[in-house]
A and B are shown apart, each in its own frame.
Chain A
Amino acid sequence: MFAYTIKRLLTLIPTLFAASVLVFAFIHLIPGDPVAVLLGDTATPEEIAALSAEMGLDEPIYIQYAYWLGNVMQGDLGRSIFFQEPVTRVIADGAETSILLALMTMVWIVVLGVPIGVIAATRHGGWIDQIASGGAMFAASIPTFWLGLYLILIFAVTLGWLPSSGFPSVFDDGGLANLRYLLLPSLTLAAPNSALIIRLVRASMLDVQREDHVRTARAKGLHPAKVALKHVFRNALVAVAAAFGFTFAALISEAVVTETVFSLPGIGRLVVESILRRDYPVIQGVVLVIVCLYLVINLIVDLAYAWLDPRVSLK
């Protein structure tokens, strides 16, 4: 187990390296110039060239990459061209929103998704099952921005129950109460992401009930409740936990559209707007962080599989 963990950790390094080279090459392929964006409509080519040189943006790409990599090794992700702030600060600010939004979405998914999945499995094939599965699939078929627009219209404008947009930090005035700003966005995100969990919970419950070792356990005369708890749920948990892991990672980066509709200062919107502004250091930094997150979650999920499910062989 320990050796396996070490081995998996070591393979992360080349993956990360390859990813960073790819990102660097990719984003410099995008036409456009961050300095032109910064200086605005009336800047002359001479002014743009002068400022580019001052910022070191006229160096060949491989030199820029070497500088960047050297700094990353020391924990420095560089400085945003647009915000003129350290990239780490910019990302940290966005990370609060993204993490809290992802967590609140997970809460919705757990609160709504798991019970629905369990009920659907116990009423397998019945009309409750059909409505639950069909409803989850319907929710997953709605374009997020469309759903978000209407949620704002109903709950913020017409009813006035919840704020429409923005998210003041929980460390500022208002404290944890500011989380109400995330209620509508997290609901918007939960709609498409619950379906997967509901289906998984339902399927895992059904599958595991049929599996041999469960039948064996029952045959051995173990109490049915104990079987369910010890064998069924534990194994179902593995698949569900994995799905949660990936959903969480996806929620951090794929919330772009929701963050745009609700004007949330999250990571997703940061990276999209940075792409549009050609703010290379921010794009590189965010993508690096997100890729790390994916890889780490991937690793944790694999390790959890190996640990929880003895059938997975450690190769």
Chain B
Amino acid sequence: MTRRSPLLVAAATGLALLLGGTAFADGTMRYASIGEPPSLDQQVGTSDLSTTIAHHVFEGLYTFNGDYAPVPLLASGDTISDDGKTIVISLRDNVTFHNGKHMTSEDVVASLKRWGEFGSRGGLLFANVESVEATGEYEVTLKLTAPFGPWKNLLGFINGGAAIYPSEIAADAGGEPIAPENYIGTGPYKFVEWRPNRHIELARFEDYTSPPGDADGYGGARNAEFDTLQFVPVPDVGTRVSGLRAGDYDYAESIPGDLFEELDADEGVRTILNGGPIFGLVFMNSKEGPLKENFALRRAIQTAIDKVPALQVAIGPEKLWRANGSFLPEGNVWYTDSGIDNFSRGDAEAARAMAEEAGYAGEPIKLMVSTNYPFHYDSAVVYTKQLAEAGFNIDLQVYDWATLIQKRSQPDQWDLFVTHHGFVPDPILISVLNENYPGWWSTPEITELKAAFTATADPAKRQEIWADIQGLIYEQVPTMKTGDVYTYNIASPDLEGLESSTLVWPHFWNVSK
């Protein structure tokens, strides 16, 4: 037994050390996230988690205030020519990058150019851009081929958007996401390190100069009160909740609806609703298979489904969901009731008759879903059952997310798939309007409406056209909205300065503990 004693000694020493543990200092905010984000490069990729972290580091020319209206961030103002085709943006002259470089129009032009060529959402704007040039040290001029209404919304939406990088980094980057060593932005926090599965750490940027004005939404003054922000991947949701309750994290994201009442009542936990709802979408294949161009059959499917039981099962408490057919929520400028009578009829008999009339004879319809998002899966189970009751032969195919996104790009592999969409400030950003997005909705009707929608900057006119587009979505059914989901996060009550709800992504400037 002589072998054991050194180990015992080591164990005893270890225990002694462990008892003298240190709590995390007040200067650090620890955020429990659902996993690792893909690259923090905001121009390439549209992950919400990536933006939650990266919008502390990178900034765009504009951002959104509490009413989802674009306000200047790195820009200081802009003028538009009468024909709507020339936009002159003036820049703030007191902005410094994290590497010490002073920001000028050269950096902005290089960043916009890369975004236009490779950015996830850059093509939307740059399809209408003739040129982008530096017309002064702090002035950039955009020349458009035709007036383009949503330009400021696009420049303000940093997710997949026009983050401003130093020119040398933007110019060298190409289509590949920028590597961590080149995460140089202008934000109140700077990137420190990314340790796989351990954390992404940001630290206060001491030379930060805040934009003017009072804090409002993401706009106005930004003050980094924490020394460091740590974003820790905690993939198991039970552990995120336990960890926050145990005081190991200050903030934890994406908590299941069913825990809401319990956590809301817990004094040691603060629940924070997300202001902008996310919504589930069931896409239909417009390129191949039984649903191609068969709008009557698609409407039959739409008619068979009652969205409410799926929301009850997948989300839980009624406070956290709305069976709302409008793509943007009530109260938003883009809200419209056009077409929403058909949102959730749940009429199996009518659906059966419509399907018969549309020539459906029991062919299998492949419905793809991933269990990586439990609410996708839960909804799909309910829909499958409802569709079966209306006589549809649904072949439910369950994959992991990476497999699903590859399969959905192959038109012969699927007929329906379930995904969800984050809140967007302008409907032009909704994926179904992108004809390259799987589903490939590009009928002459939508193409015409889209052209009209972007050609004008007049808000009233655009809202009118959007109502027509939403009506067309309910008629041609390229996708089915499943309802609005108000996700929520939880925070330690010690955090001060948190707003009662988040706009889209939580932010931790002007927050302390």
Determine the distance from Cα of A37 to Cα of B370 in the docked complex, in whole angstroms: 14
Q: Are A31 and B403 in contact (CB under 8 A)?
A: yes
Is A174 among interface residues, defined by CB-CB distance under 8 A?
A: yes
Check if A37 sits within 8 Å of B38, measured CB to CB: yes
Stretch of A15-23, A68-76, A165-173, A187-195 lying at the B interface: A165-173
- Are A40 and B120 in touch, CB under 8 angstroms? yes
Q: Is A90 an interface residue (CB 8 A)?
A: yes
Give CA–CA (A14, B38) in the complex, Å.
36
The 8 Å CB contact of A47, one of B39, B175, B195, is B175
Q: Is B234 within 8 A of A47, CB to CB?
A: no
**A180 close to B (CB within 8 Å):** yes
Do B17 and A176 touch (CB < 8 A)? yes
Contact between A85 and B11, CB atoms less than 8 A apart? no
Check: B239 CB closer than 8 A to any chain A CB: yes
Question: What residues of chain B lie closer than 8 Å to A152, measured between beta carbons?
Answer: 238-239, 242, 246
- Judge whether B197 and A107 touch: CB under 8 Å: no
Residue of B nearest to A152 (CB): B242
Chain B residue numbers with a CB within 8 Å of A165 are 234, 239, 242-243, 248
State whether A156 touches B246 (Cβ < 8 A).
Answer: yes
Task: Flag if A273 contacts B35 (CB, 8 Å).
Answer: yes
A42 touches B431 (CB 8 A): yes
Q: B406: which A residues are within 8 A, CB to CB?
A: 31-33, 36
Given A33-B402, A41-B46, residue A54 in contact with residue B431 (CB < 8 A): no
Contact B243 A176 (CB under 8 A): no
C-alpha spacing A149/B196, complex, angstroms? 23
Q: Is the CB of B22 within 8 A of A173?
A: yes
Q: Are B245 and A84 within 8 A (Cβ)?
A: no
CB-defined contacts of A83 to chain B, threshold 8 Å = 36, 180, 194, 196
Instruction: Tell me if B239 and A262 are in contact (CB < 8 A).
Output: yes
Q: Let me know if B236 and A260 touch, CB within 8 A.
A: yes
Given known A-B contacts A37-B402, A265-B195, A265-B197, A107 and B7 have beta carbons under 8 A apart: yes
Bound Cα distance from A156 to B245, whole angstroms: 9
- Cα separation A110 to B431 with both chains bound (whole Å): 57
Taking CB atoms, residues of chain B closer than 8 Å to A93 are 195-198
A38 within 8 A of B: yes
Tell yes or no: B14 within 8 A of A by CB.
yes
Smallest distance from the beta carbon of B243 to chain A beta carbons, Å?
A: 4
Q: Cβ of B60 < 8 Å from any Cβ of A?
A: no
Task: Scan residues 241-283 of chain B and give those whose CB is less than 8 A from a CB of chain A.
Answer: 242-243, 245-248
A40 with B194: in contact, given A85-B180, A260-B236 (CB under 8 Å)?
A: no
Is B400 on the interface with A (CB-CB < 8 A)?
yes
Task: Pick from A166, A179, A269: contact of B17, CB below 8 A.
Answer: A179
Is the pair B14, A40 in contact by a Cβ cutoff of 8 Å? no
Interface membership of A251, Cβ < 8 A? no
**Chain A nearest CB: distance from B186 CB in Å?**
21
Question: Whose C-beta in chain A lies nearest to the C-beta of B174?
Answer: A54
Q: Flag whether A99 is at the interface (Cβ < 8 A).
A: no
Chain A contacts of B235 at CB under 8 A? 260, 263, 269, 273
For B19-48 the 0/1 string (1 means CB < 8 A from A) is 011100000000010011011000011110
Q: Is there an interface contact between B22 and A174, defined as CB atoms closer than 8 Å?
A: yes
Interface residue? B8 (CB, 8 A): yes
Given contacts A84-B39, A153-B242, A165-B239, contact A177 B20 (CB under 8 A): yes
Write the chain A residue with the least CB distance to B195.
A93
Interface residues of B in 70-128 (CB under 8 A from A): 118, 120-121
Is the C-beta of B69 less than 8 angstroms from some C-beta in chain A?
no
Q: CB within 8 Å of A: which of B172-208? A: 174-177, 179-180, 194-198
In the bound complex, residues from chain B placing their C-beta under 8 Å from that of A222 are none
A183: interface (CB < 8 Å): yes
Cβ B405 vs Cβ A114 within 8 A:
no
A277 touches B (CB below 8 Å): yes
Tell which of A30, A43, A270 touches B197, judged by Cβ atoms closer than 8 Å. Answer: A270
Judging by beta carbons under 8 Å apart, are B239 and A261 in contact?
yes
- Whether B242 pairs with A156 at a CB distance below 8 angstroms is yes
Q: Which of B389-439 contact A (CB under 8 A)?
A: 400-403, 405-407, 409, 419, 431, 434, 436-437
Structural contact, B21 and A180, CB atoms closer than 8 A:
yes
Does A55 have its Cβ within 8 Å of any Cβ on chain B? yes
User: A93 CA to B232 CA in the complex, in Å?
Assistant: 15
Q: Is the CB of B177 within 8 A of A166?
A: no
B329 proximal to A (CB < 8 A): no
A276 contacts B by Cβ under 8 Å: yes
Residues of A near any B CB (own CB < 8 A): 30-34, 36-48, 50-51, 54-55, 80, 82-85, 90, 93-94, 107, 110-111, 114, 118, 149, 152-153, 156-157, 160, 163-169, 173-177, 179-180, 183, 260-266, 269-270, 273, 276-278
The 5 closest A-B pairs by CB, nearest first: A265-B197, A32-B402, A180-B18, A44-B436, A265-B198
Interface pairs (14), CB distance under 8 Å: A36-B405, A37-B402, A38-B177, A39-B120, A42-B120, A42-B431, A54-B174, A83-B196, A85-B179, A93-B196, A157-B246, A165-B239, A179-B18, A263-B235
- Beyond the given A156-B246, A183-B18, A276-B401, please list 6 additional residue pairs across the A-B interface where CB-CB is below 8 A: A54-B174, A83-B194, A93-B197, A111-B8, A167-B198, A173-B22
